[in-house]
Structure 1
């Protein structure tokens, strides 16, 4: 079986990605002439010319483009292996979770509950913006992302969306002095409302629902973060649009009451993962615990 010199392949890959022999030499801290010798050795081994000089620039030949594609796969797999195994301790498994800032903390705990407290599992939970979390997932710095929206189709990054749950959405408030039925949507004409930030699926659906009624709401606040939305529901004198799971403790204790359940609105919760050569088995374990399968 022929032996491929991965040292030479790495030099070729860096030259191709830098687009310049001199820039690659500076990055590798070697001389351009030494780098040229290494590439020549790889070309002789492959029996193909990988670069051709056009003016002062290097351009990949057809064989070079094929080699670059293979080299990218090789080094991406190596990076993935290091990221996967470097975080493991003997006898323990590590799961790195990204959680969108707009996602209910109660839902996060509910989903991760099968692993919480296990002596053989270490959890790292990183909160952030959804797109930033997807970039970390693609860089293999996260094993999964929890969000209330799916990742958009991406043929390069190979994201997989699994719908974990759906929750109904309600208008909640502090208990009113007089137990009076809330008329939706009519009472929103004079009752201040706290809403999720614009751009969320739940907010868009609510705006569409209210728009068809002709009611113009009195918006007291717009909040992206679910933890803050929960606090605003407890402090606001009006009503708050929120998935019930976000304020489940307050509803059970009577701190908040449900004024109207909007059965046509649902909040969806997704687990976003990625096709990998070395998948973290804890991801499949969490999804399997809910009787679900990864949706491709």
Structure 2
């Protein structure tokens, strides 16, 4: 194999970060054709197309995204070498994780725990809506998406949903709000209740359960963010219907008390990926034998 040409890699790296061939050529005071030739030579050497054109935009292919990760590492190590000759630049693998904005932070931490202290791994964590995160996953800007709402699956869907765990759902509240009462049905009929919004799996299960019991609880708040439910429960606004993992610290400290598990109601967590020719190797460590 011919010796690798790092000049080709640098031109690719510049275009990938600029996102525009014309802008890069102007910045480097080169013709567009000269920069384009350099990238084509790199593609020929690697045996893979690194960009695809969508209208006027250049979008990285999967091979291009991997090449960019390595280029970032290479040129970062070069800068470190110039800065100090007594320290070696570490080769670090980036893992890009997207998480539904309303997802439990405690759950996210438990998912990431196997790699939190690894010096060879850089974690890039982003939050957003399910739609935005799945789009980022499909365009290879994310390696995995954490969600409690798996994407729709059909024969042409690119998504793969890995079921991580199902967390039970409980009724929790402050000691002052409970006042020693731990009868589940009595509390549901006499105390204000903090609930997830109607489009969530927990709420659908809860509504069906209380319908069977013939209960009409007083709803204090309907919230689409588990972090906000946690705060409202801590303030004693009402009793909250949520997975205990969301308020694990408060339960351990006694600031909140778990009254009882709600039968047949749970929240399922998923790690969503897409089938890739070059999967991120860190994913294997995150998805292996998971039961958070």
**SS of equivalent residue, structure 2 residue 199:** coil
Q: In 1, are the aligned partners of 2:164 and 2:291 still within 8 Å (CA)? A: no
Deviation at 1:103, TM superposition (A): 1.3
Distance (Å, rounded) in 2 between the aligned partners of 1:180 and 1:110: 32
Deviation at 1:176, TM superposition (A): 3.0
Residue 282 of structure 2 corresponds to residue 282 of structure 1: yes
What RMSD, in angstroms, separates the aligned Cα atoms of the two structures? 2.4
Residue 203 of structure 2 corresponds to residue 221 of structure 1: no
Residue 149 of structure 2 corresponds to residue 149 of structure 1: yes
Map of 1:117-196 to 2, 5 A cutoff? Answer: 117-176=117-176, 179-196=179-196
**SS of equivalent residue, structure 2 residue 167:** strand
Distance (Å, rounded) in 2 between the aligned partners of 1:213 and 1:186: 12
Unaligned runs of 5+ in 1: 1-71
Counterpart among 84, 87, 93 of residue 69 in structure 2: 87
TM-score normalised by length of structure 1? 0.69
Q: In 2, are the aligned partners of 1:167 and 1:268 still within 8 Å (CA)? A: yes
Q: In 2, are the aligned partners of 1:184 and 1:260 still within 8 Å (CA)? A: yes
TM-score normalised by length of structure 2? 0.70
Q: In 2, are the aligned partners of 1:185 and 1:210 still within 8 Å (CA)? A: no
Distance (Å, rounded) in 2 between the aligned partners of 1:225 and 1:147: 13
For the structure 1 residues 178 and 230, does the alpha-carbon distance in structure 2 shift closer, same or farther, using more than 3 Å as the test? closer
Q: Deviations over 1:127-180 (max 9, x none)?
A: 111121111111111000001122210433421111111111111000137753
Distance (Å, rounded) in 1 between the aligned partners of 2:224 and 2:177: 29
**SS of equivalent residue, structure 2 residue 115:** coil
Distance (Å, rounded) in 1 between the aligned partners of 2:178 and 2:280: 53
Deviation at 1:285, TM superposition (A): 1.7
Residue 122 of structure 2 corresponds to residue 103 of structure 1: no
Moved more, 169-178 or 226-235: 169-178
**SS of equivalent residue, structure 2 residue 288:** helix
Deviation at 1:189, TM superposition (A): 2.3
**SS of equivalent residue, structure 1 residue 156:** coil
Q: Deviations over 1:201-226 (max 9, x none)?
A: 11110111111112111111111111
Map of 1:246-261 to 2, 5 A cutoff? Answer: 246-261=246-261
Distance (Å, rounded) in 2 between the aligned partners of 1:154 and 1:78: 26
Unaligned runs of 5+ in 2: 1-48, 54-58, 75-90
Deviation at 1:229, TM superposition (A): 1.3
**SS of equivalent residue, structure 2 residue 184:** coil
Deviation at 1:78, TM superposition (A): 6.0
For the structure 1 residues 132 and 177, does the alpha-carbon distance in structure 2 shift closer, same or farther, using more than 3 Å as the test? closer
